[in-house]
Structure 1
Amino acid sequence: MFLNIGKGLLIFFSSVLILGCSRNTITGRSQLSLVPESEVQAMAITQYKSFLTSNKVVPLTNKDAEMVQRVGKRIANAIQKYYTEHGQPNALKDYHWEFNLVESKEVNAWCMPGGKVVVYTGILPITQNETALAIVLGHEITHAVAGHGRERMSQQLLAQGIQLAGNVALSNNDQAVNLFNQVYAPTAQVGVLLPNSRKQEYEADHYGLIFAAMAGYDPREAIPFWKRMEALGGAKPPVFLSDHPADADRIKKLEALMPEALTYYKPANN
């Protein structure tokens, strides 16, 4: 009997893995996808609005806020161009980009599904220039467009045996909402953030460099930026580093990716 139960569970989980996987149109990697993108984007809009109303948004009259807008739009346009050139012009049709600079000492930045982006003022002394900010936004936005958060949610849903009814909104499922908050902790003020996998981090570095380069920013700025981030480490590293480990291995990988990224680089006429 136990053997039959074991076989049943194996068949069930195998079916979930087969039916719940989709191939990312850009990276080509097969990802577990049990969470509808439309539902995740709807939750993101709600959380993003809530976050902005409860935090101090820097007005666009501020030069740094204007810079965040400018860099973000250039990265978004580059991503759309990349998708179009790879035969996926409608891949991001439901993205409605928003870029906001928020007053906070935290060294952090993030992008939610649907293109909802926040940069904290605390990271600007580390980026030091517009190009390094483009490196950060290219990396963070890649996590969103590559569906990394949705993938992490799906993995946790499977691991915890949480079932979602096909037509029930995620926002009506307390367990799903909790997982969403764990994945997108900066907006929900949750203390624990589900970490990106090494594979996801590599993809964010890889395509983030390409997107920054296509937007007219020199991808080589990634090396000194991550070295500055690495220097901030210690007993209590910034939130940005807790989810995005900056170490010698990462810098070596960035250096290895640089020749490809540079093939996309054409300095913009500012």
Structure 2
Amino acid sequence: MRLRCLHYLLPLVLLAGCEETPTGRSQLALVPEALMARMSEDAFDQMRQRQPVSRDATINRRVQCVAREVVAAAEARYPDADLPEAWEVVVFEDPSPNAFALPGGRIGVHTGLLRVAETPAQLAAVIGHEVGHVLADHGNERLTQQLGIKAVLLVVGLFSEGELAQESLMQALGLGAQLGITLPFSRTHEEEADLMGLAIMAQAGFDPRQSVALWRNMAQAGGGQPPEFLSTHPAHGSRIEALQQAMEGAMATYRTATPADCAG
């Protein structure tokens, strides 16, 4: 009975799930947004229980300021995107140079990132990139890809929420088995988030050229990197080249924006 039901509903589900990202790329994202937000909230709560939160007032003030400007710019740049109503930003005491954003409007920044992102504009490049992942629904798309038919069954109510594999969920959100350890999205997702982040930071009044400086810092901090064809992450050189190709448009936006002031 269930299989017969699925046979008739599957074309409708696939049709309903075919959407476009804010950049116009077609995607298949079948998991209900409310469910993605609820699962992300649970994951974020677990992080706060397992990882210490920074109490450094200066660091928190800088991160909160940059995140606030980036989110406002994202809303202005992509008004048709399905945006969270509010964003929660937490700085975690962690030496790794990472940050992440989750569906539902949650942003985590590791203190180690601030040793690589040396300026507010470089931090804006990272947060803009991570917000781009959320606006483009990359976690939903990847979870749909990972779970395959299970995601379809979830949408039509034939597969219970509790049966979702925790590991698949965390990977789809860009998190490792140890919460807070970020994993690369697909190369397509990373490249899309890079370009969206560049546009967002420029709209927010942060110099987009600092995105190139950021990735040069990342290359120095990361040491050796595997060949690009062995990794889903774009190599730093390719990443920088793509950003530079889009820089003219980003600079045009930046010149008309009100400069952001998050240095304090």
TM-score range, shorter chain: 0.7 to 0.9
Count of aligned residue pairs for this structure pair? 250
1:263 aligns with 2:263: no
The match for 2:82 among 73, 85, 91 is: 91
Note the alpha carbon deviations across 1:49-102, whole angstroms, 9 max, x for none.
22112211113x610111110000100111111233xxx2x731x432011111
The residue correspondences of 1:198-213 to structure 2 (distance < 5 A) are 198-213=187-202
> Which has the higher relative contact order, 1 or 2, with Cα contacts under 8 A spaced 6 or more apart?
2
Which letter maps to 1:66?
R
> What CA distance in whole angstroms lies between the structure 1 residues aligned with 2:160 and 2:120?
37
8 Å contact kept, 1:104–1:122: yes
Could you say which residue in structure 1 is the equivalent of 2:105? 115
TM-score of the two chains, using structure 1 as the length reference: 0.81
1:70 aligns with 2:65: yes
Could you say which residue in structure 1 is the equivalent of 2:41? 45
1:55 aligns with 2:54: no
How far the C-alpha of 1:267 sits from its partner, in A, is: 4.6
8 Å contact kept, 1:226–1:246: no
> What CA distance in whole angstroms lies between the structure 2 residues aligned with 1:169 and 1:151?
18
CA RMSD of aligned residues (A): 3.1
8 Å contact kept, 1:182–1:192: no
SS at match of 1:35: coil
TM-score of the two chains, using structure 2 as the length reference: 0.83
Q: Taking structure 1 as reference, are residues 115 and 203 closer, same or farther at Cα in structure 2, changes over 3 Å only?
A: same
Q: Taking structure 1 as reference, are residues 164 and 194 closer, same or farther at Cα in structure 2, changes over 3 Å only?
A: farther
How far the C-alpha of 1:262 sits from its partner, in A, is: 1.1
8 Å contact kept, 2:153–2:159: no
> What CA distance in whole angstroms lies between the structure 2 residues aligned with 1:194 and 1:107?
12
Which stretch shows the higher mean deviation, 94-103 or 113-122? 94-103
> What CA distance in whole angstroms lies between the structure 2 residues aligned with 1:124 and 1:69?
13
How far the C-alpha of 1:17 sits from its partner, in A, is: 4.5
Q: Taking structure 1 as reference, are residues 193 and 166 closer, same or farther at Cα in structure 2, changes over 3 Å only?
A: farther
1:124 aligns with 2:106: no
> What CA distance in whole angstroms lies between the structure 2 residues aligned with 1:36 and 1:229?
35
8 Å contact kept, 2:114–2:123: yes
Give identity over the alignment, percent.
34
